[in-house]
Amino acid sequence: MTQPLLEIRDLTVAFRQDGAETLAVRNASLTVAPGETVAIVGESGSGKSVTALSTVSLLPDSARVSGSVTYAGRELLGADERTLCEVRGNDISFIFQEPMTSLNPLHTIEKQLAESIELHQGLRGEAVRARIIELLEKVGIHDPASRLGAYPHQLSGGQRQRVMIAMALANSPDLLIADEPTTALDVTIQAQILELLTDLKRQENMSLLFITHDLGIVRRIADRVHVMKGGEIVEHGPTAELFAAPRHEYTRTLLEAEPAGRPDSPPEGAGEIVRTEGLRIWFPIQRGLLRRTVGHIKAVNDASLSICEGETLGIVGESGSGKTTLALAIMRLIRSEGPIVFMGEHIERLHARELRPLRARMQIVFQDPYGSLSPRMTVEEIISEGLGVHGVPEGRDTHVMVGEIMEEVGLDPSTMHRYPHEFSGGQRQRIAIARAMILRPRLVVLDEPTSALDMTVQVQIVNLLRDLQKRHRLAYLFISHDLRVVRALSHKVMVMKRGDVVEAGPAELIFSAPQTAYTRALMAAAFDLKAVEGGGI
| Contact positions vs other proteins (CB under 8 A) | 15-19, 60-62, 328, 331, 333, 355-357, 359-360, 362-364, 366-368, 371-377, 385-386, 388-390, 419, 422, 432, 435, 439
CB of 368 or CB of 508, closer to other proteins:
368
3-state secondary structure of 273: strand
CB of 204 or CB of 385, closer to other proteins:
385
Angstrom distance (rounded) from CA 326 to CA 308: 18
DSSP designation for 100 = H
Minimum distance between the CB of residue 305 and other proteins, rounded to whole angstroms?
19
Minimum distance between the CB of residue 437 and other proteins, rounded to whole angstroms?
12
Angstrom distance (rounded) from CA 266 to CA 474: 10
Minimum distance between the CB of residue 17 and other proteins, rounded to whole angstroms?
5
CB of 59 or CB of 270, closer to other proteins:
59
Angstrom distance (rounded) from CA 153 to CA 530: 32
* Helix, strand counts (H, E) of the chain: 20, 20
Minimum distance between the CB of residue 386 and other proteins, rounded to whole angstroms?
4
Minimum distance between the CB of residue 75 and other proteins, rounded to whole angstroms?
26
Minimum distance between the CB of residue 51 and other proteins, rounded to whole angstroms?
20
Angstrom distance (rounded) from CA 328 to CA 365: 11
CB of 374 or CB of 516, closer to other proteins:
374
3-state secondary structure of 222: coil
Minimum distance between the CB of residue 463 and other proteins, rounded to whole angstroms?
23
Q: What angle do CA 512, 486, 427 make, to 5 degrees?
A: 155
Residue 239: half-sphere exposure toward Cβ, Cα within 13 Å: 19
CB of 33 or CB of 355, closer to other proteins:
355
CB of 18 or CB of 143, closer to other proteins:
18
CB of 228 or CB of 433, closer to other proteins:
433
Residue 440's alpha-carbon distances to 266, 415, 443, 471, 494, in angstroms, are 18, 22, 9, 11, 26
Question: In this structure, are residues 335 and 282 in contact, taking their beta carbons and an 8 Å threshold?
Answer: no
Residue 22's alpha-carbon distances to 6, 58, 231, 266, 293, in angstroms, are 26, 18, 10, 48, 56
Minimum distance between the CB of residue 284 and other proteins, rounded to whole angstroms?
13
CB of 62 or CB of 66, closer to other proteins:
62
Strand order in the sheet with 74-75: 20-32, 6-17, 63-71, 74-75
3-state secondary structure of 7: strand
DSSP designation for 88 = B
In this structure, the number of other CB atoms found within 10 A of the CB of residue 347 comes to 18
Minimum distance between the CB of residue 146 and other proteins, rounded to whole angstroms?
33
Question: In this structure, are residues 175 and 4 in contact, taking their beta carbons and an 8 Å threshold?
Answer: no
Angstrom distance (rounded) from CA 206 to CA 119: 21
